[in-house]
Amino acid sequence: MVVIYNKKKVIAGVLGVVVLCAGAYFVAKFYQPSQKTDEIYTSAMADFEKGDYQNAYYLFSKISLFSKLKPIAIYHRAECARMLNDDKSEIKQYQLIFNNYPNHPLSFRARYLAGQKLLNDKPHLAKKYFENIIHNAPDTDYAIASEYYLGVILKNKYKKQDLRPHSVNDDIQNCFRHYLKKAPSGKLAMNAVNDWLEISDNISISKDDYLLMAHTCYLFGEYTKAAELLKKTDVNENWTLDVKNSYALKDYQKAKFLTENGLQKRSQYVTDDSVYEAVDIYLKLSNSKIKAIDTLLSLASGKGQDYLLSMKCDNVSSKDKSVCYSYLYLKYPHGRFSAEALSHIFFSKIKSGNYEDAEKIGLDHLKKFPDVNSSPMVMFWLGKLAEKKNDYEEYTNYYRNVIDKFPDSYYAYRSYMHLQRLTNPLITSYINPKPVMYPYSYSKNNIIVKLVELKDYDIVSELSGNDEFVKSWVLYKKGDYPHSMLVAREAMDKLKDKPDKYDLRWRLVYPVIFYDDIIKFAHETGNNPPLMLALTREESYFDPLAQSIAGASGLMQLMPSTASEINSKMKLGMDISQALFNPYLNIKLGNYYYEFLRNNLDGYDISSVAAYNGGIGSIQRWKTSLHYNDTDEFVEQIPYTETKNYVKKVFGTYWNYIRIYNGNN
């Protein structure tokens, strides 16, 4: 039998076998089970944390090429090299990332850090990297910082200033100017100021640019330097910054003079917010707030008048408030404080029993100002007016709209109470705490999930871009609870449409911390645990070392004298100097103090919370001097704005804890 071979088929077959064998060898050699990858990565991270950078560098290199963790491992190798002062290896790792993984979120960071390293030795290559970032990622912080470095590269290109062309000087100034405008308090801001001033002898710096530099110096606490730079700026445009800087230098007379003079002659040249800051400083320096407001009102010729008038209205007697706010609203119907003024006029009509006019004003407010701070208050009180008319459908709609549109507000809490026909201000004493988690849902194979499991929090933050909730979560995982909550709260405030109560982002705004101790002493004293949790959050944002200017200390912000009195009365046997900053003991003292207030205020929690801030004597006086029919009217009429807002904050937070962790809506 004769077998005829097809030569091409034979060759193809042989090649196929070779490829299969090579593939099998490659997989056998380089394949790494995910569990093994995780173990190596965890060990590398542990070594890095211990400072064993050499071994961490080696272990990160063992991460499989096929793993999603590989580019991150390369980045960590660069970090190890940096800690070992091995610039060459560090740069090589950065280049591996942006050359092999150009679309990876770490690519721009790697290019930026490589540019920094090459700034002196290879400025042309560094320039190329920075320009690439500015072109391809213009909205990132890396692009802003890259502008500064481009200015440095241009500045260093010519050893002698007099050899530098005018066009280059202009480019250098543009680079520093752009950076300071976008990041006046950025990490490189003072470098930009100093580099700019180094070339000031050979260039013409404008008054606006000197003001820009002075602002940065002020932000960095370089007040003397800021004062020198302010001398080179336009007096019309610098006066509000000069007020703040003079105050920082403790030149109080100058700060007051500049404020008076500025309000009289120069307010049109500066922003509204800067005028308000100058006014606030002036009031701090005055013995009588009312007299100071009147003095500035008599001088103000433009910006600042509405702000001063709003503060005046806030401080006049109850009988004069309506007239004052009416004048403010009529004079500035479209100003920043007009919505608040109209809400006060609205409530004054309710207090006087003129419900028909009140309803008209309230509806006008909601039409003109549907989504401002005073909107939920007006909507809630329109519900109360409808309730007076026994219009079930109308008041139900108002209360539900408050809860739907402003779910985390104090007025959502009050609306819920009215819908449920609850007269006691406490909804429940129970919540079911849940852990703070990564704030977004994700697929099982998401790299974020893996990094969370591996506790590589800094990279999680980097991969998530500028997401403030992720930043908050990373801060929380690091134990920085106050900063975490502040970031999350500001991020939530920016959302026009609030997420539902089950959204994980709410837990970052209202985390449950120190709750075991709070429950223990709340039960021991007969206090409501979620209310004590809310009060603690508002007092200190769960910072055990918090201390106010007045001296209130610890988680529940107790004055030493108050703590000593409670310690003595309740025979707690504490060393107060040690107890105030001890979380466990501070919570115990705070609960016993709250019990004392509650027992002396007939068990009323609204009054007790107000007394925790405003003092028991003030509350007892207000309860006899104010005319009110129910809790809502009492709270709205609390004379101290700080105390009124405090009550709303604490009970708003109490509501949120119950809403988020107990399912109420």
State which amino acid sits at residue 633.
E
Look at residues 282, 237, 293, 276 and name the one whose alpha carbon lies nearest to residue 259.
282
CB distance 616 to 597 below 8 Å: yes
The distance of Cα 244 from the centroid of its chain, to the nearest Å, equals 23
Sign of CA dihedral 447, 452, 454, 460: positive
**Do residues 123 and 92 make contact, with C-beta atoms less than 8 angstroms apart?**
no
Q: At what angle do helices 207-219 and 189-198 cross, to 10 degrees?
A: 140
Q: What are phi and psi of 456, to 5 degrees?
A: -95, 70
Q: Catalytic site residue 539?
A: yes
How many CB atoms are closer than 10 A to CB 450?
Answer: 20
User: Exposure of 646 by Cβ count < 10 A (0-12 exposed, 13-18 middle, 19+ buried)?
Assistant: buried
Cα 455 to Cα 43: distance, rounded to the nearest angstrom: 12
- Specify the length of the chain in residues: 665
CA 606/CA 587 separation, integer angstroms: 20
**Cα Rg of the chain, angstroms:** 32
In the set 222, 359, 539, 595, the catalytic residue is 539
137 by Cβ neighbours in 10 Å (0-12 / 13-18 / 19+) ranks as middle
Cα gap 64→247, rounded to integer Å: 58
- Annotated catalytic residues are 539
